[in-house]
Structure 1
Amino acid sequence: MGLTETDETNQFTFEPFAAHPFYTEVNRALVRQALAHLPAQPKNGQFTIVDMACGTGAITRLIAEEMARQGRLEQTRLIGVDPSAEALRRADTSIKHMKEAGINAQADFIQGEADDLPSIVHDADAAFFCNAIHLVPDKLSAFRQMAAILTSGGIFACNSAFYEGTYVPGTERFYRLWTRRAVGWLKKEHPEVHLSREAKAMAMQWVTPDGYVNFFKESGFSHVEFEQTDVMISVDAWKDLGQYWLFIEGALPGVPLTYGAKALEVAVYQAGEELQLTEVPRTWLQIVATKS
């Protein structure tokens, strides 16, 4: 599974899921926790904060709002990096809307991958990589790249709801039933479609919290703190996640996105109805690390 943008993947985005209030709150909590570690004054007269895999700029906006709340936005330069040109166009629009609302953020959005970071920025004061670290196959290498762009004492924050420990006990049956009903719908409506046995979903390469802490320590981060936060997610929100192309590829590998999205939409409501659930809790892992 690659992170390659296509006209088709642009129809199945993360945006609807990210628009739910719980998603904003869990990420705002991480942003506040991380930025509380910033020094009183920037070393070079300006704080440089990087939002890796920034997508349409939802986290960039939360960072700007928090720096504004601290009265330090004028001293801050934000850099958003993402491989998707379409997402970056929307991120630019988001920042324009912020300026119209009176939050005057200085933000640059740059198309690129994690490998491009050293040529984009150095001596950053903080970096964020929200809700995407589980998609990175070589996490140790990714953390080393983040350490390389940070100044000494710089802060790195990331989070995920795809790790060992994310399932609240008793909720596994919801996910199993959701998948089973989706496969059943496909067999009935599109018998010609088959799941790929070869496709190994990146999202299934899950790590324990302690595993993440060890990766950080191996990557040059001295102090690592993590929290696990339970979040209630409505069935409507799960439906929206099931319309995201990377989730579709992970849940139903090899299935065309249009069919997969429809199967997951129908099935999530069937699963909710059968189990008499309107929401399902999930545990988010929130990590903040300081570079040695």
Structure 2
Amino acid sequence: MNVQADTECGSSMNGRHTSSDYAALRRDPEYAELNRALLDLVPAGATPTVLDLGCGDGAVSERMLLRDPTMTLVGVDPDPALLEAARARLGGRARFVEGDASSVSRLFPPGVFDIVVLANCIHLVPDLATALEAIGQVLTSGGRLVFNSAFYSGAERAADLPRYAELVGTARSAARRRGLPLTRADSRRPAGLRRSAGDYEAALEAAGFKAVRTEREFTLGPRFLTALCSTPMFAGAALPGVDRHTAAELLTEALRELHERSPFTVTRRCVYFSATRA
């Protein structure tokens, strides 16, 4: 198994997994820290109209409204259950609509949003060019698109790859001891995880955006990694052929065992883009 290629977190905003499969990861405080820096890129004032795309249960929407209560906010997500949670969280302070990145130009009139935010979910978008075109249509002239991701090609440090391999190897050994069937891993990496930061820059330029890119490093510990182990992409890639929930349990046990030997952390680079539509 190519651990770097196959055990990252990812899915599709239009794909077979739903956003609720990643709810535990989104609730993780370290994961929230990845998004906190993104909110600093969201312009405040002038009563903006904001689209929180891939809004999940509305946690980032709530943070934006706390920062700027004057904004008009709409959240979009493909998962109805999470949209219900977002409505329960925010009541009448925001409106929530079912959809995905590529559908926003069909859901909303042209030029209706001043700002579009994708908080650590751009890697879940399978067709980036189509999504950026749709986003560009619903942004005002001069409108701002901001997004980030810690799950892209080049996000991981080479020095940390043995840590991922050790985690997966320990869990696979435990699965074999239980007599669980392990099938051959699929070596194909999801499209969103094959993209590099440079790929995002090129796609933004092709879609008519002028972008500024920044990066930050984050050290992530067992709490974050436990939440990551529960996701379908990580669990399924690490222990193919094993029931996802059993795989997550085995990975969590392996993580605990390794952390008892020595502190188990990894460092990832999170990339941030602030892009203006021409």
TM-score bracket for the superposition, by shorter chain length = 0.7 to 0.9
Equivalent AA in structure 2 for residue 248 of structure 1:
A
| Residues 62 and 19 (structure 1), Cα distance of their counterparts in 2 relative to 1, 3 Å cut | same
Q: Kindly report which structure 2 residues correspond to 1:101-116, keeping only aligned pairs within 5 A, or say none.
A: 106-116=93-103
Partner in structure 2 of residue 268 of structure 1: 255
User: What do residues 52-101 of structure 1 show as CA deviations (whole Å, max 9, x unaligned)?
Assistant: 1111112111211221xxxxx23x211111111111111112214xxxxx
Asked whether the 8 Å contact 2:185–2:237 carries over to 1, the reply is no
Q: Which one of 249, 274, 277 corresponds to residue 288 of structure 1?
A: 274
* Paired residue secondary structure (1:162): coil
Equivalent AA in structure 2 for residue 33 of structure 1:
L
Tell me by how many angstroms 1:131 deviates. Answer: 1.7
Distance 2:73 2:145 in 1: 14
| Residues 190 and 94 (structure 1), Cα distance of their counterparts in 2 relative to 1, 3 Å cut | farther
**Gaps in structure 1 of 5+ consecutive residues:** 68-72, 97-104
* Paired residue secondary structure (1:35): coil
Partner in structure 1 of residue 3 of structure 2: none
Distance 1:48 1:254 in 2: 46
Tell me by how many angstroms 1:268 deviates. Answer: 1.9
Distance 1:173 1:204 in 2: 23
Q: Kindly report which structure 2 residues correspond to 1:188-267, keeping only aligned pairs within 5 A, or say none.
A: 188-197=177-186, 200-202=188-190, 205-222=193-210, 224-267=211-254
Partner in structure 2 of residue 83 of structure 1: 78
Deviates more, 1:240-249 or 1:206-215: 240-249
| Residues 145 and 20 (structure 1), Cα distance of their counterparts in 2 relative to 1, 3 Å cut | same
Q: Kindly report which structure 2 residues correspond to 1:127-166, keeping only aligned pairs within 5 A, or say none.
A: 127-166=116-155
Equivalent AA in structure 1 for residue 105 of structure 2:
P
Distance 2:59 2:179 in 1: 36
Tell me by how many angstroms 1:148 deviates. Answer: 1.7
| Residues 203 and 218 (structure 1), Cα distance of their counterparts in 2 relative to 1, 3 Å cut | closer
User: Structure 1 length normalisation: TM-score?
Assistant: 0.81
Tell me by how many angstroms 1:193 deviates. Answer: 4.0
| Residues 166 and 197 (structure 1), Cα distance of their counterparts in 2 relative to 1, 3 Å cut | closer
* Paired residue secondary structure (2:195): coil
| Number of equivalent positions | 264
User: What do residues 221-257 of structure 1 show as CA deviations (whole Å, max 9, x unaligned)?
Assistant: 02x1111111121212201111123432344445321
**Gaps in structure 2 of 5+ consecutive residues:** 1-10
Distance 1:62 1:137 in 2: 27
Q: Which one of 24, 30, 43 corresponds to residue 32 of structure 2?
A: 24
Distance 2:87 2:237 in 1: 29
Asked whether the 8 Å contact 1:201–1:253 carries over to 2, the reply is no
Distance 2:48 2:237 in 1: 37
User: Structure 2 length normalisation: TM-score?
Assistant: 0.85
Distance 2:157 2:83 in 1: 34
Distance 1:90 1:251 in 2: 30
| Residues 133 and 254 (structure 1), Cα distance of their counterparts in 2 relative to 1, 3 Å cut | farther
User: What do residues 242-280 of structure 1 show as CA deviations (whole Å, max 9, x unaligned)?
Assistant: 112343234444532112211221222233345x12432
* 1:182 is the counterpart of 2:175: no
Percent of paired sites with the same residue:
25
Equivalent AA in structure 1 for residue 252 of structure 2:
E
Equivalent AA in structure 2 for residue 110 of structure 1:
V
Asked whether the 8 Å contact 1:201–1:249 carries over to 2, the reply is no
* Paired residue secondary structure (1:164): coil
Distance 2:79 2:268 in 1: 28
Partner in structure 2 of residue 102 of structure 1: none
Partner in structure 2 of residue 64 of structure 1: 65
Partner in structure 2 of residue 51 of structure 1: 52
* Paired residue secondary structure (1:152): strand
Asked whether the 8 Å contact 2:258–2:264 carries over to 1, the reply is no
| Residues 149 and 32 (structure 1), Cα distance of their counterparts in 2 relative to 1, 3 Å cut | same
